[in-house]
């Protein structure tokens, strides 16, 4: 065990984490020339194109140092705020972390939040200043920021450039010298932490784990603590670029396990694996079920593709256990699914994967969060509302509670005013303001999750000219004055456009939705009233005017009553048409509600 080092890499998005992982693999000769490619651990096309890590990945390297061979287990983690639970489990499986900071961009919000996760787990932090070769780099200034943040010495900060291969050997030596070897009792009952799982269509779920105590052998009867199910370990081994089966994985090491499980829900990230006959008394702490934060309806464009969409969603769920969905139907869009996501990036990725991997074109309704509603009859038992149409009628409603978050925004001091006014507009309350350096400020807000779901991130980048970074964590439910705003087209409610809004914003947003829909809905042979309503009260209205044929063209000369007669006849026809007419809603209309500020 003394020659094993388990470490992860934590960084903000785009600070060079995946590139550094590539260089470490090259330097330790874990990859042959033939297998070598950029962003090797990011194996999804989507990850490569966007330059983000979506799934955790683990890989083993061997590094000779002072005459001994050391085994390195690198656990690569996602950098985005939506996946922070996965990051916390990967961190729990390690003893050390490389904290990577971009020499040009300095410390960002995500860096700090992941750093706190690492410090809570008592990890040894090795600070790395990346991209020092860039012309815009400020290595001395950023080194000072790192020293202030984690209280290390200046000489502890390793200067590197993953692209140019500078400082890679120093990083590997520091991992051997500074990261402690894993502690654990090889004789105790098996206790291992699941930090990731991947679906293999031929072999079922592959579980990635880290052994804390005891060892796991091929053919052993094992038990998952959280789901309380027993399995047989068909194959265990270590993860290099390809899997290496072994007879046994001992305490302190990282490996994979294949048990023939076919259902992703049965393997939960953060669960503990133990021996079925002799279980451990103490499970690994920190396990929780991942809760979706954002809900949206996903519908097929063609109604007859519903079953194909269901099959695609089920296959996607095998790879992504945090996606939840239940069937629902909408009067406007037919049959579809109400899906729960970890956040907006997760929603975007799921939508894109459905289109790419399964060739499904889908309509996504307005995303919303889940609320607790209490009725006058039962004031203590909450009704969970994840779809605006589930909200009880206002006459029966006692109160509604909505989820709040603690938002942490780091920006340049020049933009503090505009960032504050954006957050206050989004019903945020400022709780703290800290100057990290003379021109970098950290602002903390308590704000409703629903307000950041729409366009908050884009607008934050706009008001700060791209210099603000944003991170959040949930802080529970709070009482709020919310109303359901319905959109009516030609007198019929379009349930897919309903939204739960705060009383103060309802009139304004209702009016803007009507104006936006007026631009997007094509003109018909009859007038189409577009209305926004709270209950029975109409709060805004726009009208799409009818296309009118000039019926008086053939009427020349004579009395005005001849023209009147023709116009009255046309009016009656339009009225009759309006009673039977159907309004087709273009797909852009559903997405337009998200971009009301454009």
- Residue 310 CA to residue 315 CA, distance in Å, equals 9
Whether residue 508 is annotated as binding a ligand: the answer is no
CA nearest neighbour of 509 among 530, 539, 537, 536: 539
The whole-angstrom separation of Cα 341 and Cα 59 is 28
Dihedrals φ, ψ of 511, to 5°? -65, -40
Pairing of strands 499-502, 482-489: antiparallel
Taking Cα atoms as reference points, which of 200, 190, 193 lies closest to residue 258?
A: 200
278 is in an annotated binding site: no
- Rounded Cα distance between 542 and 237, Å, is 65
Helix 17-27 / helix 168-178 crossing angle, nearest 10 deg = 90
Ligand-binding annotation for 57, yes or no, is no
User: What are the backbone angles phi and psi of residue 421, rounded to the nearest 5°?
Assistant: -65, -35
The annotation status of 130 as a binding-site residue, yes or no, is yes
On whether 133 is known to bind a ligand per the annotation, the reply is yes
**Residue-wise DSSP of 264-317:** GGGS-TT-EEEESSS--SSPPTT--PPPP-EEEEEEESSGGGHHHHHHHHHHHH
80 annotated ligand binder: no
Burial of 461 (0-12, 13-18, 19+ CB in 10 A): middle
390 is in an annotated binding site: no
Our measurement of the distance from residue 378's CA atom to the centroid of its chain's CA atoms, rounded to an integer in Å, reads 34
Rounded CA gap, 516 and 598, in Å?
10
32 phi and psi, to 5 degrees? -80, 165
Is 398 labelled a binding residue? no
82 annotated ligand-binding residue: no
Find out whether 418 is annotated in a ligand binding site.
Answer: no
User: Binding site residues for GTP, as ranges?
Assistant: 14-19, 130-133
User: Binding site residues, as ranges?
Assistant: 14-19, 130-133
């Amino acid at each position: 065990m003394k020659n094993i080092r388990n470490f992860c890499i934590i960084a903000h998005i785009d600070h060079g984490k995946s590139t550094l992982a590539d260089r470490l693999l090259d330097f330790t000769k874990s990859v042959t020339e033939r297998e070598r490619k950029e962003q090797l651990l990011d194996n999804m096309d989507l990850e490569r194109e966007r330059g983000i890590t979506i799934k955790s990945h683990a890989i083993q390297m061997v590094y000779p140092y002072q005459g001994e061979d050391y085994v390195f287990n690198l656990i690569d983690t996602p950098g985005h705020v939506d996946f922070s639970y996965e990051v916390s489990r990967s961190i729990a499986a390690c003893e050390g972390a490389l904290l990577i900071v971009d020499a040009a961009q300095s410390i960002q919000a995500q860096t700090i939040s992941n750093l706190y996760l690492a410090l809570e787990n008592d990890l040894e932090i090795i600070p790395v200043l990346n991209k020092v070769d860039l012309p815009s780099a400020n290595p001395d200034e950023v080194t000072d920021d790192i020293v202030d943040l984690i209280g290390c010495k200046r000489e502890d900060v390793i200067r590197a450039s993953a692209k140019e291969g500078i400082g890679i050997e120093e990083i590997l030596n520091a991992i051997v010298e500074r990261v402690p070897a894993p502690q654990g009792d090889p004789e105790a009952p098996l206790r291992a932490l699941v930090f990731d799982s991947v679906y293999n269509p031929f072999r079922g779920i592959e579980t990635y784990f880290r052994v804390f105590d005891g060892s796991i052998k091929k053919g052993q009867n094992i038990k998952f603590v959280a789901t309380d199910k027993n399995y047989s370990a068909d194959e265990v081994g270590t993860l290099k670029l390809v899997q290496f089966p072994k007879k046994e994985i001992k305490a302190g090491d990282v490996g994979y396990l294949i048990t023939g499980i076919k259902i992703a829900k049965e393997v939960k990230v953060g669960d503990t694996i133990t021996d079925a006959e002799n279980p451990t008394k103490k499970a690994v702490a920190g396990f929780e079920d991942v809760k979706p934060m954002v809900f949206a309806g996903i519908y097929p464009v063609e109604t007859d593709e519903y079953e194909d969409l269901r099959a695609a969603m089920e296959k996607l769920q095998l790879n992504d256990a945090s996606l939840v969905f239940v069937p629902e139907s909408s009067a406007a869009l037919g049959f579809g699914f109400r899906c729960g996501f970890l956040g907006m990036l997760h929603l975007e990725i799921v939508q894109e994967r459905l289109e790419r991997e399964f060739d499904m074109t889908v309509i996504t309704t307005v995303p919303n969060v889940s609320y607790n509603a209490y009725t006058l009859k039962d004031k203590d038992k909450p009704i969970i509302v994840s779809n605006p149409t589930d909200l009880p009628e206002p006459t029966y409603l006692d109160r509604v509670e909505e989820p709040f978050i603690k938002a942490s925004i780091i920006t340049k001091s020049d933009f503090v005013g505009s960032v504050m006014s954006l957050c206050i507009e989004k019903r945020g309350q400022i709780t703290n303001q800290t100057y990290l350096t003379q021109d970098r400020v950290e602002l903390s807000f308590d704000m409703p999750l629903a307000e950041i779901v729409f366009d908050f991130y884009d607008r934050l980048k706009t008001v700060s000219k791209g210099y603000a970074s944003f991170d959040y964590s949930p802080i529970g439910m709070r009482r709020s004055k919310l109303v359901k705003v319905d959109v009516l087209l030609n007198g019929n409610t379009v349930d897919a456009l309903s939204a739960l809004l705060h009383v103060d914003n309802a009139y304004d947003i209702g009016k803007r939705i009507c104006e936006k829909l007026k631009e997007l809905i094509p003109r018909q042979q009859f007038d189409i009233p577009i209305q926004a309503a709270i209950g029975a009260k109409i709060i805004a209205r726009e009208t799409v005017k009818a296309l009118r044929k000039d019926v008086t063209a053939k009427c020349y000369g004579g009395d005005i009553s001849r023209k009147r007669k023709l116009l009255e006849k046309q009016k009656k026809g339009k009225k009759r048409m309006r009673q039977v007419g159907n309004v087709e809603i273009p797909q852009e209309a559903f997405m337009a509600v998200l971009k009301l500020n454009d």
